[in-house]
Amino acid sequence: MQVQTTFKKDTPILYLVATPIGNLDDMSLRAIEVLKAVDFIYAEDTRTSQKLMKYHQILTPLKSFHEHNEEAKANDVIRRLTAGRNVALISDAGSPLISDPGESLVKKVREKGYSVSAIPGPTAVITALTASNLMTAPFTFIGFLPQKEKAKQDTIKQYMAAPETLIFYESPHRIHKTLQAMYEILGDREICIARELTKIYETFIHMRLSEHENLPPLKGEIVLIVEGAPKQETLSPHDMIEHVALLIADGESEMQAIKTVAKLRQLKKNTVYMAYQNHKKT
Ligand code: SAM
């Protein structure tokens, strides 16, 4: 057990500071205060963050920290904490670590016994979900899907029986193919495409997956929110059998497909096995 009482002792802190996802005014007073007070700010792209620093008159030195130098820079951060300095991590936009670098840094800093504190603020996932008109809890944040079609489809399949709202980050170049794959795998569901949040062209598109062919080309940054599996779908034996058949058609052996379906639907393997064998006899 490790208990961190962040502000009760005078030890250095790594602050994870959320920054705007478009509108530079979406910066909390505390986020500005912390960024002004720390000794160094590690940023994904120092040129991008420079605009934010200038806008809020933050003069703290910026250091680079991105996915390709995370390991080396983590040691750098630990050296500074050891020297008694406070450090902040920011990403280009939104919350650090949310589909952005920082996870292994946080792990290392905690291992060394230093405090880690998050300064809350904008993140596209919550901003989109809040205004999506879809169920806000429970939800699963998946982030970016794999780019290769087969891997993408496999990931979508993992969630076909999930009853909770599903949230994805997606690029405008891939959204059409992704929606088609989702329609084929998940069936017709309500979705919301949240585009360019907090920016001048902010748009919410509420539609069903069956309408995917009518979606015009899109530009800008996108969050895709998908309604969870309907309740009866998760429970119906018919869907369970269809799920097995779909995995078999996709190349899995019968036993493997039965195992996968049992695991995903949290059922006994034998229940799925018997249902599928009975179905084969009909
Ligand atoms: N750390 C960020 C956060 O907390 O949301 C996410 C960073 S991730 C590298 C960038 C992706 O987040 C974009 O491709 C898009 O899917 C989503 N995103 C970021 N800003 C957005 C915005 N203003 N509107 C819609 N989606 C956005």
Q: How many CB atoms lie within 10 A of CB 67?
A: 11
Q: Which of 60-69, 164-173, 272-281 comes out lowest in average pLDDT?
A: 272-281
The pLDDT of residue 233 is: 47
The residues, any chain, with a CB within 8 Å of residue 75's CB and separated by 6 or more, are 108
pLDDT at 11 over 90: no
Task: Give me the CATH topology for the region 13-122.
Answer: Cobalt-precorrin-4 Transmethylase; domain 1 (3.40.1010)
Residue of 264, 255, 253, 258 whose CA lies nearest to 241: 258
Pocket mutation for ligand 1, best pick of 52, 147, 221, 226 (most atoms within 8 Å of C-beta): 221
Mean per-residue pLDDT for 106-135? 97
DSSP character at residue 94 = B
* Tens of pLDDT, residues 21-56: 999 999 999 999 999 999 999 999 999 999 999 999
DSSP E strand stretches across 114-182? 115-119, 139-144, 165-170
CATH, range 125-229? 3.30.950.10
Distance 56 CA to ligand 1 centre (A): 21
Ligand 1, atom 19: nearest CA belongs to which residue? 124
Q: How far apart are CA 255 and CA 237, in angstroms?
A: 17
Cβ(19)–Cβ(94) below 8 Å: yes
- One-letter amino acid identity for 66? H
Write down the domain spans for the chain. 13-122, 125-229, 233-281
Q: How far apart are CA 280 and CA 67, in angstroms?
A: 50
* Tens of pLDDT, residues 182-227: 999 999 999 999 999 999 999 999 999 999 999 999 999 999 999 9
Ligand 1: which residues within 6 Å by Cβ? 21-22, 91, 93-95, 98-100, 123-125, 169-170, 194-199, 221-223
The share of the chain scoring above pLDDT 90, in percent, equals 80
Q: How many CB atoms lie within 10 A of CB 69?
A: 14
* Equal CATH topology for 13-122 and 125-229: no
Pocket mutation for ligand 1, best pick of 16, 21, 91 (most atoms within 8 Å of C-beta): 21
Q: Which atom of ligand 1 is nearest to the CA of 202?
A: 24
Q: How confident is the model at residue 263 (pLDDT cuts 50, 70, 90)?
A: confident
